[in-house]
Chain A
Amino acid sequence: MTVTEERGAAAAGEKAEIGRARRRKEDQRLITGRTRWTDNLVLPGMLHLAMVRSPFAHARIASIDTDAARSAPNVVGVFTAADLAELQGVLINAWPITPDQKAPTHTPIATERATFAGEVVAVVAARSAAAARDAAELVDVDYEELPAALDLKEAAADTVLAHPDLGTNKSAYWVFDSAQAGTGGDVEEAIAAARADGIVIEREYRQQRLIPAFMEPRSVLCDPTGEQLTLWTSTQVPHIVRFALAATTGMPESKIRVVAPDVGGGFGGKLQTTPEEWITVAVARHLGRPAKYTETRSESLVAGHHGRDQWQTLTLAATKDGRVTGLKVELLADLGSHVSLVGGGVPVLGAFMFNAIYKFPAYHFAVQTVLTNKTWTDAYRGAGRPEATFAIERLMDELATELGVDPLEVRERNWITHEEFPFTSVCGLEYDSGNYEAATAKAREMFGYDELRAEQARRREAGDPVQLGIGVSTFTEMCGLAPSRVLGSLDYGAGGWEHASVRMLPTGTVEVVVGVSPHGQGHETAFSQIVADRLGVPFEAVEILHGDTQVSPRGLDTYGSRSLVVGGEAVVKAADKVVEKARVVAAHLLEASADDLEFRDGRFTVRGTDQGMALTEVASAVFAAHDMPEGVEPSLDSDATYDPENFSFPHGTHLCAMEVDTETGAVKMRKYVACDDVGNIINPLIVEGQVHGGLVQGIAQALWEEAVHDDAGTLVSGSFVDYLLPTAADTISFDVDHTTSPATSNSLGTKGVGEAGTIASTPAVVNAVVDAVRHLGVNDVRMPCTPERVWRAIQDARAAQEPTEPAAMPHFDADEPGRSSTEGAGA
């Protein structure tokens, strides 16, 4: 089946909207900020909240004295957990990955203990934000500090307990084994065989803790007055927030309206039900007045959920000619202080992707999730899959080194060839389509691979202080989070379907209601293009409505690159139903048989005649309803709920050239090529934007971003001075192109693109950095690859290569150019 045949007939010809690089219709209001950001909203009588947060990672709350704060000017109330006990509810974990998962009760305001530095212990409501902040400083909390579980490995050994009552920090142990699942062989056998006669690569990699630093800090406004409670919140998931509020506060779901107005970015960081939302609701209900809370950037960094944070222990077995025979993955994953909405599930989402594009015959995956006294972790762009892709793409480079072959060649020996699709992976997933050879060939050509390799050789030869490295990442990922069936089999607490409605208005415009909830992706533009094609109406005539549970009552929101591949397909199906309903009415009005009508470019015509009428005319006629066919209801409006059969599997080949200044350790990107296969493209401009932004976010993990805590558990990288977020000035112009093998799992042939860049780029960059200095003896640099880490890796490798030197000797040669210190390493 080819996608073009399946597309609406109206799409044919030059008028086709799908494929056009339309500028995003939502951008003017988003970029100027003259729009409905939650913090822009003001209600009569609205109060402002300020949070009092624990400065300690782990402490018993002995007492809280709120008297001074209560009597401060313009303060309306000060509340602790005890004050709001009846109202505050709890925060849920929607994905208990094992039946015996241990999860401490998660109240929005800490009750007896503060469990990370930044947890809310009290809240102030005042008539202005400034008064609330001033009074918050007056809340006097008496803490008794407790030992904190901070280091992930130590926490996994239960040396200090994050939650003493649980008796352990180990939350859940989740395993996938291909031999047990019947999808592949036994990994231990493969490793044993390789140890005897083959190659075994064993590595430990660190996925540092990251912070999803969205542009718009989180903001929430609750109006409890009137019949229904309305909550405006800067979230990716209004429907999930509504469901969870009803489930945990006792309010009937029908009494709750959640609105995600314009939302300024999320990257997974707003895929959450937050303490701040629950607290705002509780205070507003308690006082019977609207209440707003907008976090500061400092609060956002410390209290919005964090991402990644894993130790990965990896064993790869291969034959001497470089065919991988087995992969064993053992993870420790830091949950932080609570198991948040999908916290424990993030590593599980990665479990199916360590085997990536390769035909591995045996695979074993195990993750231990661990509670610590740090900010809780959850989804961050890619969620599980960047970790997996990093591990395997780093390992494939290590294997290539071991074999002494080009990293692309080792991949080719192991990847699924395009004739082999559909291909069932060692995890049991069916990859529907792809062409790794084509993407790689194109990327290689764009990159000028051979020339750059030649330059690299020249620089090595000349001992140039600036060395060149080339990094490869041939990634794939599973996205378009859906199949409800699969999510159910993984014990996820919800389905993965998506909903859309198409409403024909009598004056010729079209309203489309979607359940996915954009926060910067450009849904309004892309969905308008789809509907314009399906219905043959102008792009401008389509209005996309979203993000309000009253307008869009059914939906599962936006994450996991699902909006287009799941939500877009629901739009297609709803639009097609409109056409079918209209066909019956048009046939009646044209006095023809429905079968004789052809629908093209928005018009029904009677085959072989010049008689016809436009869909919009049918819509007006239906509105008047003066002349309807017998038994047909006067409405063309249609709904569709779509639940895909499978994930979508975008893939691509990314090539990165990095220059490494061996004298300082500084790294500089020289060239980056991304050739992605995201299936058919609705809007190339939006796709390019997603790829560029995604690349930068992945590169940032490789080079810049890291959430660092001190020994007391305080977030040291608590502002953008220390949490290094790149800007456009830190990146280069990427060379982005595509190959296309349409997805067979949806009628548009699209695959998700929201996370691809982030998933692919991190290992490409680190592989390039390592490649630049591998000849000096370096085989790893921990992320982020700071100049200091790179420089030390070089020094350590040099020291290791001169085994005759006594240990007390300088760790580098004092005579060497540019070296001045004679002190030992790591001082």
Chain B
Amino acid sequence: MIPAPFDYLAPTTVEEALAALAEHGDDAKVVAGGQSLLPVLRMRLNTPEVVVDLGRIDSLRGIREEGDHLVVGAMTTHHEVRTSDLVRTHAAVLAHATDQLADSQIRHRGTLGGALAHADPAGDQGACVLSLGAELEVTGPGGARTVPADQFFLGLFETALGDDEILTAVRIPKHTGWGGHYEKFVRVVHQWPIVAVAASVRLEGGTIAEARVGLTNMGPTYLRARGVEEALVGATPTLDGVREAAERATEGTDPPSDLNGDADYRRHLAGVLTARAVVAAAGG
């Protein structure tokens, strides 16, 4: 469909972008890869008067190390994320989730920042950054602030971002030497997950020393399965060994009911998929 008319701005610096947002307030909308925003505009579910394209701001792109963190610029594409050796080495679960995200065309356009700012509870990367304890760098008129992931995702398509702010980077604590696996349950491959589980584990002497588990589409936003994480400590990384811990994946969830399954079924899936994700993350 054809979007409603809008003005298009393409700033080349973060400052210019922020100035544009300050000027137009909630009449403006930022566009990154456009893979979520354009469908919304084309279906006229949103009709901003001004669209501010971040695509020409070079400083928002790229992946670098900063001490024990990995810093991913908000405009880094899914393709860049999944093909980055740094991400594979230090945040394996994010690379694995991004491998399974949409299709090649979309991965070349869509960005990590766009996906996180969009905060679709079925988006694949939120549960990864949440479970890895990432922080989001948010820049506004007053400068940059850092928001921990568990305070950034507030609800359905809702984040801590203000109208006059943009997400500039994602800071992920390095999980070097951890195994990571994203278990995505879909009916057709190009689908958003019905339920997915992001698991990262560190083994010591053949048992699980530490685990990080995030859940996708099990509530209005991404969830961290802390109960599972606790129960996994000391577990043998086999399906039998982790089963009991994985059952705790349903704690505190509030999954949706839709054409792909009702809430009950999703809860059931969360348990099964958590066990599988953890075992796979452990290399099983």
Contact with B along A118-139 (1 / 0, CB 8 A): 0000000000011001100100
CB neighbours of A825 from chain B (8 A): 264
B268 touches A137 (CB 8 A): no
* Distance in angstroms between the alpha carbons of A706 and B259 in the assembled complex: 10
Interface of A is mostly: loop
Q: Cα distance A817–B238 when bound, in Å?
A: 13
Given the complex, which residues of A lie within 8 Å of B2, measured CB to CB?
Answer: 129-130, 133-134
Q: Are B260 and A818 in contact (CB under 8 A)?
A: no
Q: Bound state CA distance, A296 and B2, in angstroms?
A: 9
CB–CB B260/A788 < 8 A: yes
Question: Is B275 in contact with chain A by the CB < 8 A criterion?
Answer: yes
Asked if A827 and B262 make an inter-chain contact with CB atoms under 8 angstroms apart, the answer reads: yes
Residues of A755-795 contacting chain B, CB below 8 A: 786-788, 791-792
Give the distance to chain B from A531, nearest Cβ to Cβ, in Å.
41
CA separation between A719 and B185, bound complex, in Å? Answer: 20
CA gap between A252 and B187 in the complex, in Å: 51
Q: Which residues 685-711 in A have Cβ within 8 Å of B in the complex?
A: 703-704, 706, 708
Is A40 on the interface with B (CB-CB < 8 A)? no
Segment at the A interface, from B48-56, B127-135, B242-250: B242-250
- Closest beta carbon of chain B to A293's beta carbon, Å: 13
Partner of A296, one of B1, B249, B262, B269: B1
Cα–Cα, bound, A133→B5 (Å): 10
Closest to A811 in B: B264
The reply to whether the CB of A724 lies closer than 8 angstroms to some CB of chain B is: yes
| Chain B 64-95 per-residue mask, 1 if CB under 8 angstroms from chain A, else 0 | 00000000000000000000000000000000
- Expressed in whole angstroms, the minimum distance between the Cβ of A463 and any Cβ of chain B is 14
The answer, yes or no, to whether B192 is at the interface (CB within 8 Å) is yes
- Residues of chain A in range 709-743 having any CB-CB distance to chain B below 8 Å: 716-717, 721-722, 724-727, 729-730
- How distant is the Cα of A726 from the Cα of B186 in the complex, in angstroms? 12
Contact A716 B259 (CB under 8 A): yes
B189-A729 in contact (CB<8A): yes
A296: nearest residue on chain B (CB-CB)?
Answer: B1
- A664 an interface residue at 8 Å Cβ cutoff? yes
Tell me if A134 and B268 are in contact (CB < 8 A): no
Is A633 in the interface zone, CB < 8 Å from B?
A: no
Q: Does B156 contact A (CB under 8 A)?
A: no
Of all chain A residues, which has the CB nearest B4? A134
Cα(A729)–Cα(B189), bound, Å = 7
Identify which of B187, B271, B272 contacts A786 (C-beta below 8 A).
B187
Cβ–Cβ contact B271 & A820, under 8 A:
yes
Check B265 for interface membership: any CB of A closer than 8 A.
yes
Contact flag A788-B271 (CB < 8 Å), given A298-B1, A820-B250? no
Contacts of B40-64 to chain A: CB distance below 8 A: 43-44
Closest to A723 in B: B259
- Does B146 belong to the interface (CB within 8 Å)? no
Which chain A residues lie closer than 8 Å to B194 at the CB level? 787
* Contact of B185 with A666 in the complex, beta carbons under 8 Å: yes
User: Is B188 a contact partner of A726 (Cβ separation < 8 A)?
Assistant: yes
Distance between B267 CB and nearest chain A CB, rounded to angstroms? 5
The docked-state distance in angstroms from the alpha carbon of A298 to that of B194 is: 22
User: A722 — which chain B residues lie within 8 A by C-beta?
Assistant: 259
Q: Which residue of A lies closest to B240 (CB)?
A: A817
B191 within 8 A of A: yes
Contacts of A827 in B (CB 8 A): 262-264
* Given A716-B259, A786-B260: A818 and B189 interface contact (C-beta under 8 Å): no
Q: Is B283 an interface residue (CB 8 A)?
A: no
Complex partner residue of A819 from B191, B249, B268, CB under 8 angstroms: B268
> Are A820 and B270 within 8 A (Cβ)?
yes
- Interface residue? A823 (CB, 8 A): yes
Contact: A788 with B1, CB < 8 Å?
no
- Residues of A near B265 (CB, < 8 A) are 788, 791-792
Q: Which residue of B lies closest to A130 (CB)?
A: B2
List the B side residues contacting A787 at CB < 8 Å.
185, 187, 194, 261
A784-827 contacts to B (CB < 8 Å): 786-788, 791-792, 817-821, 823, 825, 827
Most B CB contacts (10 A, CB to CB) among A130, A663, A724, A820 go to: A820
Residues of A within 8 A of B1 (CB): 133, 296, 298
Knowing A130-B2, A726-B188, A727-B190, the reply to whether A817 touches B259 (Cβ < 8 A) is no
Residue of A nearest to B44 (CB): A137
The residues of A that contact B268 with a CB separation of less than 8 Å are: 791, 818-821
Q: Which has the most chain A C-beta neighbours within 10 Å: B250, B264, B273?
A: B264
Q: With a CB–CB cut-off of 8 A, which chain B residues contact A706? A: 259
B249 touches A788 (CB 8 A): no
**Residues on the A chain within 8 Å of B192, using CB:** 721
Q: Is the CB of B272 within 8 A of A664?
A: yes
Are A818 and B271 also in contact (CB < 8 A) when A708-B259, A823-B264 are? Answer: yes
Q: Which single member of B191, B240, B247, B272 contacts A724 (CB below 8 Å)?
A: B191
Q: Which residues of A contact B239 (CB under 8 A)?
A: 817
Which of B246, B249, B259 has the largest number of chain A CB atoms within 10 A? Answer: B259
- Residues of B close to A788: CB separation below 8 A: 260-262, 265
Which residues from A are CB-within-8-Å of B5? 130, 134
Residues of chain A with a CB closer than 8 A to B272's CB: 663-664, 818
The CA-CA distance from A134 to B260 in the complex, in Å, is 34
Quick one: closest A residue to B192, CB to CB? A721
Q: Are A818 and B188 in contact (CB under 8 A)?
A: no
Residues of A within 8 A of B271 (CB): 818-821
Complex Cα gap A398–B208 (Å): 48
Instruction: Please indicate the chain B residues that have their CB under 8 angstroms from the CB of A786 in the complex.
Output: 187, 260-261
Are A724 and B44 touching (Cβ within 8 A)? Answer: no
- Asked if B267 contacts A821 (CB within 8 A), the reply is yes
Shortest Cβ distance from B283 into chain A, in angstroms?
Answer: 21
**Which one of B240, B246, B264 lies within 8 Å of A821 (CB-CB)?**
B264
Point out the residues of chain B lying under 8 angstroms from A129, CB to CB.
2
**B104-155 contacts to A (CB < 8 Å):** none
Given A666-B185, A792-B265, A821-B250, residue A729 in contact with residue B4 (CB < 8 A): no
Q: Name A820's closest neighbour in chain B (CB-CB).
A: B271
**A724 contacts which chain B residues (CB < 8 A)?**
187-188, 191
- In Å, the complex CA distance between A818 and B194 comes to 17
> Given the interface contacts A298-B1, A818-B275, A820-B249, does A664 sit within 8 Å of B185 by beta carbon?
yes
B187 with A727: CB separation less than 8 A? no
A664 to B240, CA, bound (A): 17
Instruction: Point out the residues of chain B lying under 8 angstroms from A823, CB to CB.
Output: 264, 267
Contacts of A820 in B (CB 8 A): 246-247, 249-250, 267-268, 270-271
Q: For the complex, give the distance between the alpha carbons of A695 and B272 in Å.
A: 32
Complex Cα gap A134–B271 (Å): 48
In this complex, what residue of B is CB-closest to A48?
Answer: B2
* Given A296-B1, A827-B262: A727 touches B269 (CB 8 Å cut-off): no
Question: Which chain B residues border A663 with CB–CB below 8 Å?
Answer: 272
Q: How far apart sit A819 and B270, CA to CA, in the bound complex (Å)?
A: 9
Query: Chain B 175-193 against A: per-residue CB contact (8 Å), 1 yes, 0 no?
Result: 0000000000101111110
Point out the residues of chain A lying under 8 angstroms from B249, CB to CB: 820
Measured CB to CB, the nearest residue on chain B to A297 is B1
Q: In angstroms, how far is the closest chain A Cβ from the Cβ of B250?
A: 5
Within 8 A of B (CB), among A499-537: none
Residue interface mask B157-182, A partner, CB < 8 A = 1: 00000000000000000000000000
**Distance, CA A730 to CA B190, complexed state (A):** 9
> Pick the contact of A817 from B43, B243, B269, B270 — CB < 8 Å?
B243
- Rounded to whole Å, the gap between the CB of B199 and the closest CB of chain A is 16
Q: Quick one: closest A residue to B263, CB to CB? A: A827
- Docked Cα-Cα span, A666 to B188, in Å, equals 11
Chain B residue with Cβ nearest A784: B187
A727 pairs with B189, CB closer than 8 A: yes
Known: A721-B192, A725-B188. 6 other contacts (CB 8 A): A133-B2, A724-B187, A726-B188, A727-B190, A821-B250, A823-B267
User: Nearest 7 pairs between A and B by C-beta?
Assistant: A820-B271, A788-B261, A820-B247, A818-B272, A133-B2, A729-B189, A296-B1
- Report 12 cross-chain contacts, Cβ distance below 8 Å, ordered by A residue: A298-B1, A663-B272, A703-B187, A706-B259, A726-B188, A788-B262, A818-B268, A820-B247, A820-B249, A820-B270, A823-B267, A827-B264
